[in-house]
Amino acid sequence: MKLTVLTLFPEILKGFFESSIMKRAVERGLVTYDLVNIRDYATDKHHKCDDEVYGGGAGMLMLPGPLGRALDAAGSPGVRTVFVTPGGRLFNQAYARDLAREPKLVILCGRYEGVDQRIVDKYVSDEISIGDYVLSSGEVAALAVVDAVYRLIDGVITGESLAEESFEGGLLEYPQYTRPALYDSIPVPDVLVSGHHANITRWRLKKRLEKTLAYRPELLSDAMLSDDLRGLIERIAAEGGIDEPD
Ligand code: SAM
């Protein structure tokens, strides 16, 4: 996948692309990227990229001129183009999966009060919000979208790690433990060291259900549960739960 991020502050994003899993994905040719400084597309001697809002109001808006030239150079329109904005559609795992199928993505980071609407109308295919709060700039939101998307590209992370993560099958993830088996007098749940794989599977599913019910009950709508999962839930109920105590 080719990721092109348009920003006034490429240095905020640079470290992410040069570190850890993303670095390896780039080295293995699974991801290519371009961090475009929108200011490079300003034509006046001060490289101005913002101005006052027509009709009045607080704050400044990103100018359409530099943005349009930067987007044209990035191949948009013609490439799925995301503008991260609190006024967009709420981002989630399904949305990330959808974007991960694209061969190319252009992501536009806003600043100030945002961007001139004509840029959105002409170039943007997806207005995405990462949550119901307002950040001071789009770079953190763009990184959230990039991170959620690129890790779903085949080969970046093993399929096994992804299969039981939160939101897969409409459930949050179960609690996990590592060594030591006794930490600060708190033991790892017995079932996890029992070696009884069927019980471990049932314990994990029960925990996924409990956590989802506690924090995100709306995820448990029928539409989001696979037939397999519903069958498993019914079997657990019929068997009266798991053998091991919680
Ligand atoms: N005036 C805008 C509004 O009320 O919708 C908020 C602008 S915000 C201060 C500046 C930039 O941060 C936005 O253009 C956007 O790129 C980014 N941003 C802020 N909150 C965001 C969110 N929840 N999701 C995605 N991007 C966000």
Task: List the one residue out of 28, 16, 34, 12 whose CA is nearest residue 79.
Answer: 34
Indicate if the pLDDT at residue 209 is higher than 70: yes
Please, is 145 exposed, middle or buried when counting C-beta atoms within 10 Å of its C-beta (0-12, 13-18, 19+)?
buried
Give the pLDDT of residue 246: 46
> pLDDT band at residue 25, thresholds of 50, 70 and 90?
very high
Residue with CA at minimum distance from ligand 1 atom 21: 86
SS (H, E, C) the chain: CEEEEEECCHHHHHHHHCCHHHHHHHHCCCCEEEEEEHHHHCCCCCCCCEEECCCCCCCEEECHHHHHHHHHHCCCCCCEEEEEEEEEEECCHHHHHHHHCCCEEEEEECCCCCECHHHHHHHCCEEEECCCCCCCCHHHHHHHHHHHHHCCCCCCCCHHHHHCCCCHHHCCCCCCCCCCCEECCEECCHHHHCCCHHHHHHHHHHHHHHHHHHHCHHHHCHHHCCHHHHHHHHHHHHHCCCCCCC
Render pLDDT for 132-174 as a digit per residue (tens, 0 to 9): 999 999 999 999 999 999 999 999 998 777 877 888 778 899 9
All domains of the chain in start order, with CATH: 2-158 (3.40.1280.10), 164-238 (1.10.1270.20)
Ligand 1 neighbour 144 (Cβ under 6 A): no
Dist. CA 226 → ligand 1 center (Å): 35
Dist. CA 235 → ligand 1 center (Å): 46
Dist. CA 127 → ligand 1 center (Å): 11
Please, is 135 exposed, middle or buried when counting C-beta atoms within 10 Å of its C-beta (0-12, 13-18, 19+)?
middle
Which of 7-21, 79-93, 174-188, 202-216 has the lowest average pLDDT? Answer: 202-216
**Ligand 1 atom at minimal distance to the Cα of residue 108:** 16
Question: Residue 110 and residue 123: Cα distance in Å, rounded?
Answer: 14
Residue with CA at minimum distance from ligand 1 atom 7: 113
Task: List the one residue out of 63, 19, 13, 66 whose CA is nearest residue 35.
Answer: 13
Q: What is the pTM of this model?
A: 0.91
Q: Which residue of 117, 135, 147 sits with most ligand 1 atoms within 8 Å of its CB, as the best mutation to test the pocket?
A: 135
